[in-house]
Amino acid sequence: MDLNKELILSSHSPRRKALLEKLRIPFTVNAIEIDETIPDEVHYASGAEYLAVKKAKAHGILDNETIILAADTIVVYNDVIYGKPTSREDAINTLTSLSDKKHSVYTGVCIYSAEKQISFTEQSEVKFAPISDEEAGYYFDLDNPIDKAGSYGIQDWIGFVKVEYIVGSFTNILGLPLAQTQQALLSFLQDDK
């Protein structure tokens, strides 16, 4: 894919960077810190997209040769959003709350330039096997998921031994739905011609 523009990934996530590299397009990383609070009036299914748009727009006014790609991921179970854990105890509580249950993973993506923006949300489902407090603590000490929505990474130990099944995009659960992002970028660029 030839962008003919500068693509900037607005994310601190090493997983998003690694995923975007799989598309074999040149990009740089420049993430701007934002308040990641989702307002009460924003439905949880739209929360990740709300944050992705906010991250993209935080870059301000762009020149005509720049495209921002921003994304955010949240985990939802029983209408409760599980973001990044604040502590070991918080992570253990989250994981045991998700234990033996199916939850949703939403990733919002925003592609933004001086001329336009498009955004979308991808949803996947993950079903965990039972997770004990001891297993959750072991996982935290092993892989330190402090920067991961829902207190886990599906590519980590817990994903290999405790995920019974997923429905939907695997890369979405990692933090960037690649097939959908590539199609959105192609559509975004096609509109420029």
Q: What is the pLDDT at residue 123? A: 98
Q: From CA 156, how far away is CA 97, in angstroms rounded?
A: 18
- On whether the pTM is more than 0.95, the answer is no
How high does pLDDT run on average in the chain? 94
Of 50-54, 90-94, 188-192, the least confident:
188-192
Which residue bears the tokens 């949703």? Answer: 104
Q: What is the pLDDT of residue 5?
A: 87
Mean pLDDT of 130-148: 97
The number of angstroms, rounded, from the C-alpha of 80 to the middle of its chain's C-alpha atoms is 17
pLDDT interval class at 2 (50, 70, 90): low
pLDDT band at 1 (very low <50, low <70, confident <90, very high): low
Q: In this predicted structure, what is the pLDDT of residue 192?
A: 60
**pLDDT higher than 60, residue 179:** yes
Grouping H, G, I as helix, E, B as strand and the rest as coil, residue 67 is strand
Q: What confidence tier does 132 reach under pLDDT thresholds 50, 70, 90?
A: very high
Give the relative orientation of helices 88-98 and 133-143 as an angle to the nearest 10 degrees: 130
User: Domains in the chain and their CATH numbers?
Assistant: 6-190 (3.90.950.10)
Q: To the nearest whole percent, how much of the chain has pLDDT over 70?
A: 97
Is residue 190 predicted with pLDDT exceeding 60? Answer: yes
Angle in degrees, CA 64, 177, 100, rounded to 5 = 150
Q: Which residues are catalytic?
A: 72
DSSP string covering 122-181: EEEEEEEPP--HHHHHHHHHHH--TTSGGG--TTSHHHHHHEEEEES-HHHHHT--HHHH
Name the band, by pLDDT with cuts 50, 70 and 90, for residue 193.
low
The predicted model gives 97-107 an average pLDDT of 98
pLDDT of residue 64: 87
Q: Say what the pLDDT of residue 189 is.
A: 86
